[in-house]
Amino acid sequence: MGANNFAMLGLGDIVIPGIFISLLLRFDVSLNRGRNTYFNFTFFAYLVGLLMTIGVMHVFKHAQPALLYLVPMCLGTPLFVAWVKSDLNILFQYEDEPEEDEAGEVSQKAEKTD
């Protein structure tokens, strides 16, 4: 009896999308809208992409590259949401770094450690 392990995921199939989705959570927090819209939609899209990958692997009985399904789901979803909410410019200009003034000091807005 041979092992049929079609549901095997690589580390990159989990870590890379996870980093991107966590960056979207930080983007949501920076918007101060009280909702994690981009995070929630993209996390759901990631789960759908995983289910599509596993489904195709079982239907065709052959391993598939998961990123073939995960990349369009994880990139297309936040782009579509940003387009609908008219946030494309804000999304593309987002930087996850504290702001520095002319003297090179981090501004008090970014130093909040409470």
SS3 for 10-30, per residue?
A: CCHHHHHHHHHHHHHHHHHHH
Q: Say how far apart CA 38 and CA 80 lie, in whole Å.
A: 10
Entry pTM: 0.76
Q: What is the mean pLDDT of the chain?
A: 84
How many CB atoms within 10 Å of residue 67? Answer: 16
Percent of the chain at pLDDT > 90 equals 52
- Per-residue pLDDT tens for 63-95? 778 888 999 999 999 999 999 999 999 999 999
Average pLDDT (36-55) is 94
Torsion of CA 85, 86, 88, 90, to 10 degrees: -90
Q: In 1-114, where does DSSP find H-type helix?
A: 12-31, 37-60, 67-84, 88-93
Q: Shortest CA distance to 74 belongs to which of 47, 42, 36, 51?
A: 42
Confidence of residue 28 (pLDDT cuts 50, 70, 90): very high
* CA 66 to chain centroid: 15
Cβ-proximal residues to 7 (8 Å cutoff; 6+ apart), any chain:
54, 57
